[in-house]
């Protein structure tokens, strides 16, 4: 009998979908659904989740109700189902995009028994007339796709998903299948509890995607790096995710200006344009889609070769799901993310004004993302651990941390100290609290618990918070500490941790990456992608020439050209004033004032070494950025208040200063004294100016803050630094 069932299922799989065998857990899941049991499916992107409800729907009596979050996703799936059947009525969706006659047609097909799958958005499902209609219909089962939307701990929380269970009770109960590609143990528990399916059979596939290469790069000169990367992977399909619609549009425009077939996709565009852009990407009329996270859910394009995150996502679930859109055909997929701690601070600012509970959850999810981005541990190990799966290999051989490891140090004594401190403090605290106690950080919270008087307060002060963060993460990965699922983030020591205290053993950890952007700029040459590394010999010669020119002008070297500009010269080899103006951080003014000697040196070097120059790699800028530039220059000429300039261009103050720094570093002279006189005390302003003129070794903000002390704010230092660069360098 069992054999007959097996062959029947395989026959139907071949007949409807053209596959001769099931993938992973698919068959076991389908059998469970067919036997009328509640089913919970945790299957990574590309694992074949849709088939788990599509095949049983075709085989069972009645119509399967599929609840899905996006109209584009429903349309995509309905179109796909219709290609497997001669009857177009086999699958339908009911949502706000249909007119009255289309709705009547759908209902007619359902009542006649032609329809096996009926897709709803949760908002449509709750409408009274839909509930009344579904009461007349035999429901085979309910499928809740993207079920993580139920949990506020999930990366895409949708409050209306929490109303699904009461509505199902109203329509009439039938078995449930909940499916998601990303769920931590916490989210899984939340989904099952909310859907009233705690007794469901759980099918969990491995989250490991061995064909994906994970890489995090510091966020430095991102536009240029992305253009180089795409040109090195010409003709291949890729997705670039940005957090804001504005950035999506700016980046798309920049890519197009540089000869890349790119299209934008975000919720602010009209539905027709969005659908057309999606189709162009699927049909390979475009190579790159620049999108907000709305793009890609359920879009089955198997040959996406790279996914780039311009901005770090808000949660690791989001990151995992978005990177999971690469390499669904089993071929290579490169997951490249640009990370700056400033982006995290921006995301935290966006949370202000939301309910406190939501802010708390958001901050904890962000903390996990920061840990992942800054950690030097195997990325695969960290990701899989986050989803409750252990990865036994020490080196995955397919992430930046494993292929380019940093030196490791023995943290046996530190790990033991952290475990003992945790045992004594108790299980009411999170990782950052434990780290703060160990370094002796005297916060109000620590005082309120009296832990500033504990023997552990300051016991680890010879290391910083970041170091202790790495130690605590290692303890979590080794399974010596448990993280409370109900009260997310609270840590407690377990039996394995107690064993380690009793019999410690050597434990090697890699210290976290120090993603300090200011430091990055004064670093030795960093490679900028395959074939895009700077010429180290030329870079060194340019630095020597910069010192000489700086002495002649009695200026600090960074005023002449900053390191990223020299690095770019050592990649682009500019040999005319026009070419010099295209170098990062060099505009017309700087090129004319200091460029001649550098051009002579580069020209001689290129001739002697017979170098072929990569002139096709020059990044063209686009109009609207220069529009900003022109507006800012004219506004400063008219002595406009900086706050008014920022408002007019929809920038925050920090972004305005960054724009002005870019203008000034490119050699344009601006007089911002009028604004500085309004907002900074004259003595303070003189002190900062003198520091940059006489003491500064580089233009590093961090060094300036450290040297000048706490009486000077970051904004004050940046403003005076701009004035100094204008007067001395331009």
User: DSSP readout, 275-324?
Assistant: HHHHHHHHTTS-SEEEE-TTTTTT---TTEEEEEESS--SSHHHHHHHHT
Query: Pick from 721, 220, 216: which is nearest to 520 by CA?
Result: 220
Q: Which helix (H) or strand (E) holds 265?
A: strand 262-265
Number of neighbouring beta carbons within 10 Å of residue 400: 17
Per-residue pLDDT, 336: 97
The pairing of strands 117-120 and 91-94 is parallel
CA 294 to chain centre: 13
61 and 166 belong to one structural domain:
yes
Classify residue 337: in a domain, yes or no: yes
* Contact residues for 54 (Cβ-Cβ < 8 A; gap 6+): 16, 17, 81, 117
Interatomic CA distance for residues 280 and 648, integer angstroms: 35
Interatomic CA distance for residues 577 and 592, integer angstroms: 7
Interatomic CA distance for residues 468 and 418, integer angstroms: 8
Domain that holds residue 568: 536-616
Query: Pick from 563, 560, 574: which is nearest to 605 by CA?
Result: 574
Q: Are 437 and 446 in contact (CB under 8 A)?
A: yes
Q: What is the CATH number of the domain that holds 416?
A: 1.10.10.10
- What ranges in 531-622 are assigned the alpha helix state H? 536-553, 557-560, 563-572, 577-580, 588-609
Q: Are 213 and 199 in contact (CB under 8 A)?
A: no
Classify residue 556: in a domain, yes or no: yes
Helix (H, G, I), strand (E, B) or coil at 59: helix
Query: Pick from 439, 432, 278, 293: which is nearest to 360 by CA?
Result: 432
Helix axes 682-690, 714-729, angle to 10 degrees: 60
* Contact residues for 616 (Cβ-Cβ < 8 A; gap 6+): 231
505: its two tokens? 């053993």
Query: Pick from 619, 612, 534: which is nearest to 582 by CA?
Result: 619
User: Hunting for tokens 């295209």 — which residue is that?
Assistant: 582
Query: Pick from 278, 352, 269, 264: which is nearest to 310 by CA?
Result: 264
Q: Are 582 and 258 in contact (CB under 8 A)?
A: no
Classify residue 26: in a domain, yes or no: yes
249 and 341 belong to one structural domain:
yes
Q: What is the CATH number of the domain that holds 59?
A: 3.40.50.300
SS3 of 417-429: the string is: HHHHHHHHHCCCC
Interatomic CA distance for residues 134 and 140, integer angstroms: 12
Question: 664 vs 12, 587, 638, CA distance in Å?
Answer: 68, 9, 17
471: its two tokens? 């130690």
* Contact residues for 582 (Cβ-Cβ < 8 A; gap 6+): 572, 574, 618, 619
Q: Are 234 and 595 in contact (CB under 8 A)?
A: no
200: its two tokens? 């469901």
134 and 7 belong to one structural domain:
yes
171 and 39 belong to one structural domain:
yes
276 and 307 belong to one structural domain:
yes
389: its two tokens? 């799966």
Q: Which helix (H) or strand (E) holds 689?
A: helix 682-690
- What's the number of domains the chain is made of? 5
422 and 486 belong to one structural domain:
yes
599: its two tokens? 């051009």
Dihedral sign of CA atoms 481, 484, 490, 492 in order? negative
CA 601 to chain centre: 41
24 and 158 belong to one structural domain:
yes
pLDDT digits (tens, 9 = 90+) for 356-408: 777 777 877 887 888 888 788 899 999 998 888 889 888 899 999 999 887 77
Q: Are 583 and 571 in contact (CB under 8 A)?
A: no
425 and 489 belong to one structural domain:
yes
Number of neighbouring beta carbons within 10 Å of residue 419: 24
- Choosing from 204, 234, 255, the residue where a domain stops is 204
pTM of the complete model beyond 0.75: no
263 and 121 belong to one structural domain:
no
Query: Pick from 164, 158, 142, 155: which is nearest to 184 by CA?
Result: 155
Interatomic CA distance for residues 157 and 361, integer angstroms: 11
- Choosing from 550, 584, 616, the residue where a domain stops is 616
656 and 510 belong to one structural domain:
no
528: its two tokens? 């900028």
- Choosing from 204, 224, 244, the residue where a domain stops is 204
Classify residue 388: in a domain, yes or no: no
Classify residue 364: in a domain, yes or no: no
73 and 200 belong to one structural domain:
yes
User: Hunting for tokens 């509970």 — which residue is that?
Assistant: 357
Classify residue 355: in a domain, yes or no: no
Residue spans of the chain under pLDDT 50: 1, 298, 514-532, 616, 623-624
Query: Pick from 472, 476, 565: which is nearest to 521 by CA?
Result: 565
Long-range contacts of residues 241-244, Cβ cutoff 8 Å, at least 24 apart: 241/291, 241/292, 241/293, 241/295, 241/307, 241/308, 241/309, 241/310, 241/311, 241/313, 241/322, 242/290, 242/291, 242/292, 242/310, 242/311, 243/292, 243/310, 243/311, 243/313, 243/343, 243/347, 244/292, 244/311
* Contact residues for 85 (Cβ-Cβ < 8 A; gap 6+): 16, 91
Q: Are 663 and 630 in contact (CB under 8 A)?
A: no
Q: Are 146 and 156 in contact (CB under 8 A)?
A: yes
Classify residue 362: in a domain, yes or no: no
Interatomic CA distance for residues 182 and 401, integer angstroms: 23
486: its two tokens? 């109900």
Interatomic CA distance for residues 342 and 364, integer angstroms: 17
294: its two tokens? 């709305």
Q: Which helix (H) or strand (E) holds 162?
A: none
Encode burial over 165-178: b for 16+ CB neighbours within 10 A, e otherwise: bebbeebeebbbbb
145 and 70 belong to one structural domain:
yes
Classify residue 385: in a domain, yes or no: no
Query: Cα-atom radius of gyration of the chain, to the nearest Å?
Result: 29
């Amino acid at each position: 009998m069992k054999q007959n069932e097996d062959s029947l299922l395989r026959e139907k799989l071949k007949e409807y979908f053209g596959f001769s065998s099931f993938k992973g857990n698919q068959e076991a899941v389908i059998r469970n659904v067919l036997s009328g049991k509640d089913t919970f499916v945790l299957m990574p992107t590309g694992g074949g989740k849709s088939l788990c409800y599509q095949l049983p729907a075709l085989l069972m009596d009645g119509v399967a109700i599929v609840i899905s979050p996006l109209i584009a996703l429903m349309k995509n799936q309905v179109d796909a189902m219709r290609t497997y059947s001669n009857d177009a009525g086999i699958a339908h969706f009911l949502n706000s995009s249909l007119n009255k006659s289309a709705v009547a047609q759908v209902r007619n097909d359902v009542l006649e028994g032609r329809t096996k799958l009926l897709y709803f958005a949760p908002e449509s499902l709750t409408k009274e007339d839909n509930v009344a209609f579904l009461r007349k219909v035999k429901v085979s089962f309910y499928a809740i796709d993207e079920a993580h939307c139920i949990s506020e701990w999930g990366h895409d929380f949708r409050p209306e998903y929490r109303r699904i269970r009461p509505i199902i009770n109203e329509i009439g109960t039938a078995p449930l299948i909940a499916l998601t590609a990303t769920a931590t143990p916490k989210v899984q528990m939340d989904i099952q509890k909310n859907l009233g399916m705690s007794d469901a059979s759980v099918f969990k596939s491995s989250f490991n995607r061995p064909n994906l290469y994970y890489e995090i790069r510091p966020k430095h000169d991102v536009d240029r790096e992305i253009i180089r990367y795409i040109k090195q992977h010409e003709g291949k399909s890729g997705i670039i995710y940005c957090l804001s619609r504005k950035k999506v549009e700016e980046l798309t425009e920049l890519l197009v200006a540089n000869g890349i077939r790119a299209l934008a996709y975000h919720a602010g565009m009209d539905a027709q344009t969005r659908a057309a852009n999606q189709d162009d990407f699927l049909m390979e009329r475009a190579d790159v889609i620049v999108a907000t996270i709305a793009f890609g859910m359920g879009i089955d394009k198997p040959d996406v070769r790279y996914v780039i995150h311009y901005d770090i996502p808000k949660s690791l679930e989001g990151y995992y799901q978005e990177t999971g859109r690469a390499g669904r055909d089993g071929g290579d997929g490169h997951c490249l993310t640009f990370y700056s701690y400033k982006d995290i601070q921006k995301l935290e600012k966006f949370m202000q004004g939301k309910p406190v509970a939501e802010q708390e959850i958001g901050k904890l999810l962000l903390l996990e993302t920061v840990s992942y981005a800054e950690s030097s541990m195997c990325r695969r190990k960290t990701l899989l651990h986050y989803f409750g799966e252990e990865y036994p290999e020490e080196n995955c051989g397919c992430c930046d941390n494993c292929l380019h490891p940093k030196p490791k140090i023995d943290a046996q004594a530190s790990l033991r100290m952290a475990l003992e401190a945790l045992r004594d403090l108790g299980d009411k605290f999170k990782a950052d609290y434990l780290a703060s106690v160990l370094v002796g950080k005297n916060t109000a919270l620590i005082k309120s618990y009296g832990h500033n008087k504990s023997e552990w307060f300051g016991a680890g002060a010879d290391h910083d918070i970041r170091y202790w963060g790495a130690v605590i993460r290692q303890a979590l990965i080794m399974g010596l500490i448990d993280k409370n699922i109900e009260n997310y983030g609270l840590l407690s020591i377990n039996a394995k941790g107690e064993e380690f205290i009793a019999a410690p053993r050597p434990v090697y950890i890699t210290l976290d990456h120090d993603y300090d952007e200011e430091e990055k700029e004064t670093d030795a040459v960093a490679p900028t992608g395959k074939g895009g590394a700077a010429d180290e010999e030329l870079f060194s010669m340019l630095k020597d020439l910069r010192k000489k020119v700086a002495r002649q002008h009695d200026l600090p070297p960074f005023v002449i050209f900053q390191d990223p500009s020299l690095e770019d010269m050592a990649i682009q080899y500019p040999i005319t004033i026009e070419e010099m103006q295209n170098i990062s951080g060099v505009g017309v003014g700087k090129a004319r004032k200091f460029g001649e000697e550098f051009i002579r040196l580069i020209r001689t070097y290129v001739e002697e070494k017979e170098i072929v120059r990569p002139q096709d790699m020059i990044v063209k800028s686009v109009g609207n950025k220069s529009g900003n530039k022109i507006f800012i220059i004219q506004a400063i000429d008219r002595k406009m208040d900086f706050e008014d300039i920022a408002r007019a261009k929809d920038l925050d103050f920090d972004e305005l200063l960054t724009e002005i720094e870019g203008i000034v570093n490119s050699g344009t002279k601006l007089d911002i004294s009028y604004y500085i006189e309004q907002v900074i005390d004259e003595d303070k302003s003189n002190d900062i100016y003198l520091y940059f003129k006489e003491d500064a070794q580089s233009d590093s903000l961090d060094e300036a803050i450290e040297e000048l002390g706490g009486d000077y704010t970051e904004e004050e230092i940046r403003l005076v630094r701009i004035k100094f660069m204008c007067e001395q360098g331009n």
